Amino acid sequence: MLREKKMQIVSKLADDLSRSTIIIATNYQGLLAKQMAELRNALAKAGVEYHVVKNTLVYRAADKAGKLHLMDVIEGPVALAFGYDDIVSTAKVLNQYIKSAALSLQIRGGLLGDRILLPEEVVSLANLPPKEVLISKLIGQLQVPVRTLHNVLNLPLQGLLNVLQNKK
């Protein structure tokens, strides 16, 4: 590869690394070209970029982008999935495609901000319920103390009301 071409790739990778909210590293060995194209198309529909990259170029780009923790995930032949919006949807789309197509693709780990994710953590991210469900569960949990306080304060008044009605 020419030096200028490598510099362009490193700057593009550094840009992708700095813009991404989550980066998932996978082992792509054993995939046919057709399967790789289908995987890229499925991920592109969800707004996820998927690139096979040379490790030395990723190391340089990670250094340039300030994402040095990514180097702990990169080992051997690797392809990176770059998610720019929703963290969970990136992991979910990748994991679902691996399961549905029965690919030999393996998730090696990921980088979420400055935190390294183990393969199990990436899969658990993929298995999270949708955002709306999590918000509704949180709202339900926040209502429990208010309902309990209401019942505690209302119980003596209800008892007094019952005594007065029985006296009547």
CATH no. for residue 53? 3.30.70.1730
DSSP 129-145: PPHHHHHHHHHHHHHHH
pLDDT digits (tens, 9 = 90+) for 102-125: 777 888 899 988 889 898 998 888
Q: In which residue ranges of the chain is pLDDT below 70?
A: 1
Structure tokens that stand for 102 in this block: 């029965």
Give the per-residue pLDDT at 24: 92
The domain total for the chain is 2
Q: Which residue range is the domain that position 22 belongs to? A: 3-128
Give the per-residue pLDDT at 1: 59
Which H helix or E strand runs over 42?
helix 33-45
Give the per-residue pLDDT at 142: 86
| Residues 119 and 133 occupy one common structural domain | no
Give the per-residue pLDDT at 95: 87
| Residues 134 and 122 occupy one common structural domain | no
